[in-house]
């Protein structure tokens, strides 16, 4: 067989893919759109690691200071920078105050000119927010004039909220509790803290990618088979005019090639469009700039080669069961009964690859990445192998019912393979998603630490810098809308010696109500002093609370204080932050004025959560009193950030995959309907109700989908269980997620059926009877 | 045109256009119970559109169609569907049998649409298949039978509800003359013995010869040859 | 149809009386027109003269119908030759209908009406033949089909002419 002959046949196939008038074009376009959607998702996946790396790089490039950095003196090239981060509703706002100390002070990335005091430059998203009605409260908090925007270089996402405000005399504040530093450059190499990935996290990432890409692969395989029957008839016509069976196969390969290459082009276009669109989306607080999404060239090249190759292979495989004769297409008369054993081998093989790794997830263990990927893939491929067998067996046993049911069941009996192929993608996606959800739910305990905050007592806290008038500060918060109660606690640490103290004891000052938040008191009046002994953390300093002991403050101005004779005992109690303090408690009446100056105060705020934006009012008050103050809001749980990122990725990906599969279902559904247009019209002609036909279409999808979801749930739970065992976590089936994933799968089918109804009703119009 | 007394189905001054194409331009029609009327004419003359209008599948742009004293053009879609289910039968050129259903299930389909139980419907269907000499095909699917056999199954399906009118649109168009005539013979025999009227659209004279009279449609206008002669 | 060859062919299966010959002919071929005795005898005497048949015997009672005829070798050869010679297809070049149509066009009468009337008449004949075919045996069916196919051919010509009337008018009135 000469290469020229091959080329001729292939190019003939390419011509056929687009010839054939409107029908031909539509079919080619459908295939291309299907493949294109898949390619776009593949490209997105290949671009994702790069995008995340790019985000990291920018984050690093604009990093300004760390806690451990060395202090440098004021110079011509220094800049004082203070953190003024804030939170608005559920969005974080990155804020910095800047003051250049010389002409060569470094400009932050993306900022063209230092804002003067009272001015600020903002990110485009923040500008938008501040200008909108919903941003009114935030506008009050940031009372600076906007003089410019931060360029892309200074932001990690298109929707990031950030600002740089100019300030005066900031250096003074570096002494206080404000977080900030004097710096001479941005970008800190030390910050590129690359913890090696936790093996469990790595496992999660690997599984997420496999789980997302498998349905795409299944989907592409289905897409290149669009319009298969019509193609077979055309090939039969070619046989009639003298092409041999090998030639027809090559021509078919050429057609598939054309569709998939056009699909590659479309996929690139979709990807580029999606990339532009990506700028206007924010998913789980993560947004990216289009320029981040650059597929790595190697992976993109791999996609460009693999997709057409797969398309041709799938086509040739599909043609194996078909004998194309000059006078028509003969499907191998009785398709061989589907055998179970090799179909079972795939998932069992997958299990066999995963089971040896059980228990390796704990204590510095590692997983063999290839075994993980291979095992998960085999298990999921097992779904696509088992499903046709199950559909065939079940459908053959389905009995009688209404006429819509009969039409659907009979059709499924005749074409159970095609029906199974249609839902394969959804089944694989759902199985994977269930397994992942289980894995997440299982390891959530490890990565989402239940925080110790007792959110029933207080929901926010504010630190008040030394030398601030506490009473007026507390009043300001009390007067703030939505604040129910303010608890003021000041403290100071006192040492046992004038210099080089061996041990320290904490002195806490507050009125009786406040002290009751941190200790159990039998009775309390102003002027009382209490000793708390046997606390969890500070019992070693208990001896310093003996009456008569003299204690000294630290620092420049020495103040001494003696433990009074009438000190009373109190029992420790966890404060709202979950901290059980010991030491000495003083009511304000017992506090000498000299010592009072040395204390620093914290306010615990109890907020009326029924007041909308209560937190925002508090933050505004805090910002008004001190722009660098960052009130803490307490949640009952805190989650590991990287874990959250993975879950975000999964949610985004699953949404894309299901949308994609839904689209493909719709496309093939419509194609099937179009091929049956004449039949549908004649059924309507002799009086079939539209409802009957619509219902039969629904059954036709619902039966295989139901079976598919059942299988998906089984395989998903099994895979999830194995993965949990691998990470040494107790197996717990996360029923809500199983139900919700299968529910979403079923929902996709319902939506697809609903969407295909209008064209179906249109096709049932009698126009279909007109002979073409 | 005056409506002949005792007509079962009549049409007057039917007009219908598909976009810029005029399919019917003042066509007339009438048929008596038990009568076989051939609708002839060159292709594209509007024969099929006339049949679709008469059967209530397509609504004419103007004109009136009366079936058994009822105005078809005034009926709702559901009413016309019900009329087609219970009073009419249909045979088309091809592509009308549901490929997934067996032959007997196909024949039973109209009965089941009208609410008969599956068992009963299939028993009646089988009786009609015997009459059309295709009962041995009952378990086969349409893809496994010949064209002539398939059309006979289709005729059985058209007659299974004992309709008052059977509409046949080129029923022999895809058959050779031997099979075509056999189908016509069975169709007209069965129809006559049940007093079923048949509207037969065909362009073949030898098929039309099975009719009692013919009308010719030319450029959307019909001509009743009996009244001309 | 050549009656002589047909009778010769009937004789090939064995000698027959003239009366038998007529009956056999009528039964097989004479559906519309039975043979007259006179035709049988005049034909047989012509065949005798050419030596294609011979008189096998005469039964008592005399009379021409009592003669028994047998075919000769020359007769068998002649039948064979006749069967093997294809019939000349009828060219139908001189058609009355065509003449009528052209005349109607020339005299500005409605030629379409002529065609439609003719077509209706043709269909009427076809209906009668179809009806007879349905009631008759295989022989009836074959004979009627032959006629039906011819009528159908005429009808197709009528259709075609109707479709080309305008062009024809142009051509003949130029």
Cα C4 from Cα B89, distance rounded (Å): 55
- Residue A186 is predicted with a pLDDT of 80
Tokens of B36: 């076989």
We find that the CATH architecture of domain C3-84 is Orthogonal Bundle (1.10)
CB contacts < 8 A, B to C, total 45
Query: Residue B93: pLDDT band by 50, 70, 90 thresholds?
Result: confident
DSSP H or E stretch at residue B163 = none
| Centroid of chain to Cα A418 | 34
Q: pTM of this prediction? A: 0.62
**Residue indicated by tokens 């000119």:** A113
Cα C37 from Cα C59, distance rounded (Å): 18
CA distances from B72 to B55, B56, B76, B158 (A): 9, 7, 9, 20
Q: Which of A413, A678, A767 sits opposite B95 (nearest CB)?
A: A678
Is the model more confident about A253 or about A90?
A253
- Dihedral of CA A575/A581/A587/A588: which sign? negative
| Per-residue pLDDT tens over the stretch A471-526 | 788 888 888 888 888 888 888 888 887 777 778 888 888 888 888 888 888 888 88
**Residue indicated by tokens 């609903």:** A754
Domain-by-domain residue ranges, chain A?
1-63+204-336, 79-186, 354-451+636-772, 460-635
**Burial B106-144, CB ≥16 within 10 A → b, else e:** bbbbbbbbeebebeebbebbbebbebbebbebbebbbee
Chain B: list its partners (3+ Cβ pairs within 8 Å).
A, C
SS3 C19: helix
**pLDDT for residue A24 is more than 90:** no
Domain-by-domain residue ranges, chain B?
9-228
Tell me which chain A residues have a C-beta less than 8 angstroms from the C-beta of B52: 766, 769
Average pLDDT, chain C: 83
Mean pLDDT for the stretch of residues C55-83: 79
- Residue A646 is predicted with a pLDDT of 60
CA dihedral B132, B133, B139, B140 (to 10 degrees): -90
Of A439, A535, A405, A509, the residue nearest A206 (C-alpha): A439
Q: At what angle do helices C138-163 and C165-173 cross, to 10 degrees?
A: 60
Average pLDDT, chain A: 78
Domain-by-domain residue ranges, chain C?
3-84, 96-173
Among A58-67, A203-212, A281-290, A690-699, the minimum mean pLDDT is found in: A281-290
Asked whether A487 and A603 are in contact (CB, 8 A), the reply is yes
State the DSSP code for B174. Answer: T
- Residue B116 is predicted with a pLDDT of 83
**Residue B84 to chain A, least CA–CA distance (Å):** 5
- Residue A224 is predicted with a pLDDT of 67
Test the B interface: residue of A229, A402, A686, A765 with most B CBs within 10 Å: A686
Cβ–Cβ below 8 Å for B42 and C163: yes
Among A55-64, A151-160, A218-227, A422-431, the minimum mean pLDDT is found in: A218-227
Q: Which CATH number fits domain B9-228: 3.20.20.70, 3.30.420.10, 3.40.50.300, 3.90.25.10?
A: 3.40.50.300
| Per-residue pLDDT tens over the stretch A516-538 | 888 888 888 888 888 887 776 66
Cα A37 from Cα A264, distance rounded (Å): 9
- Residue A770 is predicted with a pLDDT of 60
Tell me which chain A residues have a C-beta less than 8 angstroms from the C-beta of B93: 771
The rounded percent of chain A whose pLDDT value lies above 90 is: 1
Cα A5 from Cα A10, distance rounded (Å): 9
DSSP H or E stretch at residue A397 = helix A369-397
- Could you list the beta-strand ranges (E) of A616-702: 632-633, 637-639
Mean pLDDT for the stretch of residues B196-217: 91
Cβ–Cβ below 8 Å for C148 and B185: no
The rounded percent of chain A whose pLDDT value lies above 70 is: 82
Mean pLDDT for the stretch of residues A549-560: 78
Backbone angles phi, psi at B167, to 5 degrees: -100, 120
Cα C9 from Cα A749, distance rounded (Å): 78
**pLDDT for residue A392 is more than 80:** yes
Cβ–Cβ below 8 Å for C130 and B228: no
**pLDDT for residue C16 is more than 60:** yes
**pLDDT for residue A452 is more than 70:** no
All residues at 6 or more sequence positions from C134 whose CB lies less than 8 Å from its CB, including other chains? B185
B→A interface, C-beta within 8 Å: 18, 48-49, 52, 55, 57-58, 81-86, 88-90, 92-93, 95-96, 98-101, 105, 109-110, 112-114, 118, 141, 157-158, 169
Asked whether A171 and A613 are in contact (CB, 8 A), the reply is no
The number of residues making up chain B comes to 229
- Dihedral of CA A650/A651/A656/A660: which sign? positive
> Within an 8 Å CB–CB cutoff, is residue A334 touching chain B?
no
**pLDDT for residue A243 is more than 90:** no
- Residue B38 is predicted with a pLDDT of 94
Q: Which of B82, B90, B95 sits opposite A679 (nearest CB)?
A: B95
Query: Residue A257: pLDDT band by 50, 70, 90 thresholds?
Result: confident
**pLDDT for residue A193 is more than 70:** no
Cα A754 from Cα A752, distance rounded (Å): 5
> Within an 8 Å CB–CB cutoff, is residue B229 touching chain C?
yes
> Within an 8 Å CB–CB cutoff, is residue B210 touching chain C?
yes
Query: Residue A194: pLDDT band by 50, 70, 90 thresholds?
Result: very low
Alpha-carbon Rg for chain A, nearest whole angstrom, is 35
CA distances from C53 to A158, C35, C49, C129 (A): 114, 19, 8, 38
Cα A129 from Cα A120, distance rounded (Å): 15
**Residue indicated by tokens 């989908």:** A705
Mean pLDDT for the stretch of residues B81-85: 86
**pLDDT for residue A647 is more than 50:** yes
Q: Which of B90, B99, B100 sits opposite A685 (nearest CB)?
A: B90
Other C-beta atoms lying within 10 Å of the C-beta of residue B178: 10
Tokens of A185: 């450059």
Other C-beta atoms lying within 10 Å of the C-beta of residue A578: 11
Query: Residue A772: pLDDT band by 50, 70, 90 thresholds?
Result: very low
Mean pLDDT for the stretch of residues A78-83: 85
Helix ranges restricted to H, chain C: 3-11, 18-28, 37-49, 73-84, 96-106, 111-135, 138-163, 165-173
Cβ–Cβ below 8 Å for C152 and B205: yes
The number of residues making up chain C comes to 174
Alpha-carbon Rg for chain C, nearest whole angstrom, is 23
Q: Between β-strands A483-495 and A550-553, what pairing exists: parallel, antiparallel or unpaired?
A: antiparallel
Of C34, C62, C31, the residue nearest C21 (C-alpha): C34
Cβ–Cβ below 8 Å for B185 and C134: yes
The answer to whether chain A touches chain C by having 3 or more C-beta pairs less than 8 angstroms apart is: no
Tell me which chain A residues have a C-beta less than 8 angstroms from the C-beta of B101: 406-407, 410
Is the model more confident about A377 or about A541?
A377
**pLDDT for residue B67 is more than 90:** yes
């Amino acid at each position: 067989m000469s290469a020229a002959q091959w080329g001729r046949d292939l190019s003939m196939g390419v011509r056929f893919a687009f010839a054939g008038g409107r029908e031909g074009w539509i079919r080619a376009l459908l295939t291309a759109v299907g493949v294109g959607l898949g390619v776009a998702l593949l490209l997105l996946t290949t671009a994702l690691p790069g995008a995340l790396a790019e985000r990291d790089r920018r984050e690093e490039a604009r990093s300004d200071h760390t806690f451990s950095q060395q202090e440098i003196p004021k110079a011509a090239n220094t800049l004082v920078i203070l953190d003024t981060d804030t939170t608005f509703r559920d969005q974080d706002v990155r804020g910095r105050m800047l003051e250049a100390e010389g002409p060569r002070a470094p400009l932050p990335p993306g900022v063209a000119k230092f804002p003067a005091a009272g001015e600020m430059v903002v990110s485009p998203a923040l500008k938008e927010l501040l200008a909108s009605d919903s941003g009114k409260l935030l506008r009050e908090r940031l009372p600076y004039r906007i003089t410019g925007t931060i360029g892309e270089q200074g932001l990690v996402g298109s929707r990031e909220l950030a600002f740089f405000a100019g300030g005066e005399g900031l250096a003074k504040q570096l002494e206080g509790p404000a977080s900030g530093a004097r710096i001479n450059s941005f970008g800190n190499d030390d910050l590129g803290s690359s913890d090696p990935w936790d093996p469990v996290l790595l496992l999660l990432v690997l599984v997420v990618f496999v789980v997302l890409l498998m349905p795409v692969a299944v989907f592409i395989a289905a897409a290149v088979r669009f319009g298969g029957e019509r193609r077979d008839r055309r090939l039969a016509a070619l046989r009639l005019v003298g092409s041999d069976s090998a030639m027809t196969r090559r021509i078919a390969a050429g057609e598939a090639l054309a569709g998939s290459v056009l699909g590659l082009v479309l996929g690139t276009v979709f990807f580029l469009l999606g990339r532009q669109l990506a700028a206007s989306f924010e998913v789980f607080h993560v947004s990216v700039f289009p320029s981040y999404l650059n597929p790595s060239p190697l992976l993109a090249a791999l996609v460009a080669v693999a997709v057409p190759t797969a398309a041709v292979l799938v086509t040739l495989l599909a043609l194996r069961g078909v004998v194309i004769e000059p006078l028509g297409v003969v499907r191998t008369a009785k398709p061989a009964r589907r055998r179970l054993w090799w179909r079972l081998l795939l998932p069992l093989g997958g299990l066999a690859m995963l089971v040896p790794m059980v228990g390796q997830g704990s204590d510095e263990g590692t997983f063999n990445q290839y075994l993980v990927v291979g095992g998960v893939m085999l298990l999921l491929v097992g779904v696509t192998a088992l499903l046709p067998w199950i559909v065939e067996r079940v459908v053959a046993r389905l009995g009688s019912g209404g006429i819509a049911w009969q039409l659907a069941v009979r059709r499924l009996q005749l074409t159970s393979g095609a029906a199974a192929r249609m839902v394969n993608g959804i089944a694989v996606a759902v199985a994977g998603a269930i397994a992942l959800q289980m894995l997440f739910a299982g390891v959530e305990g490890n990565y989402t630490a239940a925080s110790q905050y007792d959110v029933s007592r207080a929901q926010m806290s504010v630190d008040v810098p030394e030398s601030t008038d506490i009473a007026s500060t507390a009043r300001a918060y009390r007067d703030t809308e939505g604040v129910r109660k303010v608890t003021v606690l000041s403290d100071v640490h006192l040492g046992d010696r004038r210099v080089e103290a061996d041990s320290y004891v904490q002195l806490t000052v507050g009125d009786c109500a406040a002290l009751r938040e941190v200790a159990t008191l039998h009775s309390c009046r102003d002027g009382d002093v209490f000793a708390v002994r046997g606390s969890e953390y500070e019992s070693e300093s208990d001896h310093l609370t003996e009456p008569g002991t003299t204690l000294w403050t630290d620092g420049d101005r020495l103040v001494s204080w003696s433990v009074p004779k009438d000190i009373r005992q109190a029992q420790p109690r966890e404060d709202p932050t979950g901290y059980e303090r010991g030491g000495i408690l003083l009511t304000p009446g017992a506090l000498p004025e000299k010592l009072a100056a040395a204390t620093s105060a914290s306010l615990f705020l109890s907020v009326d959560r029924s007041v909308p934006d209560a937190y925002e009012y508090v933050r505004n008050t805090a910002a008004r009193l001190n722009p660098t103050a960052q009130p803490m809001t307490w949640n009952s749980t805190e989650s590991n950030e990287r874990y959250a990122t993975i879950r975000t990725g999964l949610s985004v990906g699953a949404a894309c995959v299901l949308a994609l599969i839904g689209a493909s279902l719709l496309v093939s559904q419509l194609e099937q309907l179009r091929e049956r247009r004449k039949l549908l019209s004649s059924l309507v002609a002799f009086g079939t109700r539209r409802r009957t036909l619509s219902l039969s279409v629904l059954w036709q999808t619902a039966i295989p989908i139901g079976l598919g979801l059942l299988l998906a749930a089984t395989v998903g739970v099994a895979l999830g269980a194995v993965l949990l065992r691998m990470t040494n976590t107790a197996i717990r089936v996360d029923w809500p997620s199983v139900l919700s994933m299968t529910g979403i799968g079923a929902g996709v089918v319902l939506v697809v059926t609903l969407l295909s109804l209008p064209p179906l009703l249109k096709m049932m119009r009698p126009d279909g009877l007109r002979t073409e | 045109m005056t409506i002949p007394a005792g007509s079962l189905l009549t049409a007057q001054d039917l007009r219908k256009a598909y976009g810029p194409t005029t399919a019917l331009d003042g066509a007339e029609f009438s048929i008596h119970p038990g009568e076989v009327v051939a609708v002839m004419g060159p292709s594209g003359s509007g024969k099929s559109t006339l049949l679709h209008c008469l059967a209530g599948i397509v609504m004419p742009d103007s004109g009136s169609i009366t079936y058994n004293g009822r105005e078809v053009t005034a009926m709702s879609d559901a009413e016309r569907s019900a009329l087609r289910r219970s009073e009419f039968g249909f045979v088309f050129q091809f592509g009308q049998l549901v490929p997934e259903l067996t032959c007997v299930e196909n024949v039973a389909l109209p009965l089941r649409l009208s609410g008969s139980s599956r068992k009963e419907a299939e028993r009646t269907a089988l009786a009609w298949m015997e009459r059309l000499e295709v009962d041995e095909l009952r378990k086969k699917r349409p893809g496994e039978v010949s064209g002539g056999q398939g059309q006979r199954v289709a005729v059985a399906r058209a007659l299974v509800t004992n309709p008052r009118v059977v509409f046949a649109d080129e029923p022999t168009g895809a058959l050779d003359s031997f099979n075509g005539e056999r189908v016509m013979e069975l169709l007209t025999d069965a129809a006559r013995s049940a007093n079923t009227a048949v509207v037969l659209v065909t362009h073949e004279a030898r098929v039309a010869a099975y009719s009692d009279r013919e009308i010719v449609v030319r450029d959307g206008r019909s001509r009743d040859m009996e009244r001309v002669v | 149809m050549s009656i002589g060859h047909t009778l010769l062919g009937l004789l090939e299966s064995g000698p027959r009386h003239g009366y038998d010959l007529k009956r056999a002919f009528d039964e097989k071929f004479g559906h519309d027109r039975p043979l007259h005795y006179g035709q049988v005898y005049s034909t047989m005497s012509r065949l005798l003269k050419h030596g294609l048949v011979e008189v096998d015997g005469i039964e008592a009672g005399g009379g021409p119908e009592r003669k028994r005829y047998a075919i000769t070798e020359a007769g068998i050869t002649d039948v064979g030759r006749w069967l093997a010679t294809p019939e000349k297809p009828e060219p139908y070049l001189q058609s009355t209908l065509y003449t009528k149509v052209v005349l109607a066009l020339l005299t500005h009468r409605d030629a379409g009406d002529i065609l439609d009337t003719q077509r209706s008449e043709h269909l009427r004949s076809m209906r009668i033949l179809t009806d007879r075919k349905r009631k008759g045996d295989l022989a009836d069916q074959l004979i009627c089909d032959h006629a039906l196919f011819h009528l159908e051919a005429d009808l197709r010509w009528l259709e075609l002419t109707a479709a080309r009337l305008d062009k024809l008018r142009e051509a003949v009135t130029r």
